[in-house]
């Protein structure tokens, strides 16, 4: 009896290996985020430099250019990582990404329309489309366009009651809105350059105003998503099992879609269509530390921020003084990771 009691006691106090992995991932993301933030403050158009001289120029470079861009890049990635985790949990599909419900196509079409109207009216040109009032117009148009795309998807799917119908409606809306955007670009070819910048994604225009908007977006979406993590946990058991737990799936799914649309719309409006971050970040989290959706949502946000900040530092420094589009860097890194993952599974 004593031996059995000792065995039972040892079993009870044995640490959970999953908890240890989750702690290691959290510490790793924190350390990586700090290191990349310091790298972001040092990476500039002239390569790696440390402007800590205390003069006016150094203060301007650090305080008004590098610091908001570094912080903003992390926040854009965090919103995309959070949106990707919501999408994958909501659709129970590891290939789901934040742009699945037509938000990307809607934002792109809205930006092209603003550029086309400006070019035809002689008020806005492609060269000035990212400054002043024009920049504000593009940001607002991208945000509204993203929500219009999601709204059309919900209308076509007749709400969020059926996940397959919602998924199919998102694909249809994305294809149609993308075609309309291409049609506008054909009629007004002056918009092609501005559209290309938006489609490739950029963190070069992030300032303190953008950081304020992104902070508000994170504060609005992250707590709500975390509170609704139990809905995503229930959905992993199947819709019938989730309903048996007394959950109003249609209502909570609609709330999750709204959170997904808000996070994606804010990120897209500030940095354009940054590829693969929302897809790869939840994959990395689930591979390194499988956990319930509450942890996965928070860790995916942190992983997304870390990934985009790493891509931003590389985009600034690889071919300085020229700069790569950050969306190209994330596509290469994210695509390479997914190819490696497919190879590992095939070999396994």
Q: Which residues contact 316 (CB under 8 A, 6 or more apart)?
A: 40, 43, 44, 45, 323
Structure tokens at 265: 């719309």
CB 283 within 8 A of CB 333: no
Q: What is the pLDDT of residue 342?
A: 76
Q: What is the pLDDT of residue 163?
A: 77
Q: Supply the Cα-derived Rg of the chain in whole angstroms.
A: 22
CA distances from 218 to 23, 36, 214, 224, 284 (A): 22, 20, 6, 10, 21
Q: Which residues contact 60 (CB under 8 A, 6 or more apart)?
A: none
Q: Is the dihedral of CA 204, 208, 213, 216 positive or negative?
A: positive
Return the number of other C-beta atoms located less than 10 Å from residue 31's C-beta: 11
Backbone angles phi, psi at 293, to 5 degrees: -65, -25
pLDDT in tens, the chain (348 residues): 444 443 444 444 455 668 888 999 999 999 999 999 999 888 876 667 766 655 566 667 788 888 999 999 999 999 999 999 999 988 888 888 899 888 889 998 888 888 888 665 544 444 344 344 455 577 888 888 898 999 999 998 887 777 788 888 989 999 999 999 989 888 888 888 888 888 888 888 888 999 999 999 999 999 999 999 888 888 777 766 666 666 667 788 889 999 999 999 999 989 989 989 999 999 889 988 888 889 999 999 999 999 999 999 999 888 878 888 898 899 888 888 878 877 776 554
Residue 188, SS3?
Answer: coil
Q: What is the pLDDT of residue 45?
A: 67
Closest CA to 306 of 339, 284, 332, 331: 284
Residue with tokens 């799917």: 157
Mind giving me the DSSP string for 29-65?
Answer: HHHHHHHHHHHHHHEETTEE----S-SHHHHHIIIII
Closest CA to 104 of 218, 198, 211, 205: 198
Q: What is the pLDDT of residue 303?
A: 95
Domains and CATH numbers, the chain: 69-347 (1.10.3470.10)
The neighbouring-strand residues paired with 114 are none
Please indicate, yes or no, whether the overall pTM of this predicted structure exceeds 0.75. Answer: yes
Q: What is the pLDDT of residue 199?
A: 87
> pLDDT per residue over 282-302, tens digit each?
988 998 888 888 999 999 999
Q: What is the pLDDT of residue 304?
A: 95
Which pairs with CB-CB distance under 8 Å and at least 24 residues apart come from 322-326? 323/45, 323/204, 325/197, 325/200, 325/201, 325/202, 326/73, 326/200, 326/201, 326/202, 326/203, 326/271, 326/274
Q: What is the pLDDT of residue 43?
A: 81
CA distances from 179 to 105, 120, 184 (A): 9, 21, 9
């Amino acid at each position: 009896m004593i031996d059995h009691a000792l065995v039972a006691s040892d079993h009870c106090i044995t640490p959970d290996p999953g908890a240890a992995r989750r702690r290691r991932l959290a510490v790793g993301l924190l350390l990586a985020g700090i290191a990349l933030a310091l790298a972001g403050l040092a990476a500039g158009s002239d390569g790696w430099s440390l402007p800590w001289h205390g003069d006016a120029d150094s203060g301007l470079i650090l305080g008004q250019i590098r610091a908001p861009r570094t912080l903003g890049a992390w926040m854009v990635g965090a919103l995309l990582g959070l949106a990707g985790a919501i999408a994958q949990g909501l659709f129970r599909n590891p290939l789901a990404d934040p742009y699945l419900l037509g938000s990307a196509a809607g934002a792109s079409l809205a930006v092209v329309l603003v550029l086309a109207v400006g070019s035809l009216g002689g008020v806005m040109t492609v060269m000035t489309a990212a400054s002043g009032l024009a920049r504000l117009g593009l940001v607002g148009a991208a945000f509204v366009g993203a929500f219009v795309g999601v709204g059309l998807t919900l209308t076509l799917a007749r709400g969020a009651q059926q996940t397959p119908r919602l998924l199919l409606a998102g694909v249809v809306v994305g294809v149609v809105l993308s075609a309309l955007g291409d049609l506008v670009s054909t009629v007004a070819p002056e918009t092609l350059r501005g559209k290309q910048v938006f489609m490739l994604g950029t963190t070069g225009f992030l300032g303190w105003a953008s950081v304020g908007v992104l902070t508000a977006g994170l504060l609005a979406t992250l707590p709500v998503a975390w509170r609704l993590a139990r809905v995503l946990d229930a959905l992993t058991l199947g819709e019938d099992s989730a309903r048996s737990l007394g959950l109003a799936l249609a209502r909570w799914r609609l709330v999750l879609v709204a959170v997904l649309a808000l996070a994606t719309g804010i990120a897209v409006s500030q940095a354009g269509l940054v590829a693969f971050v929302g897809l790869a970040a939840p994959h990395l989290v689930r591979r390194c530390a499988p956990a319930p959706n509450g942890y996965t949502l928070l860790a995916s946000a942190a992983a997304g921020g870390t990934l985009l900040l790493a891509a931003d530092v590389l985009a600034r420094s690889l071919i300085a003084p020229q700069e790569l589009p950050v969306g190209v860097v994330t596509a290469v890194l994210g695509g390479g990771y997914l190819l490696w993952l497919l190879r590992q599974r095939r070999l396994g």
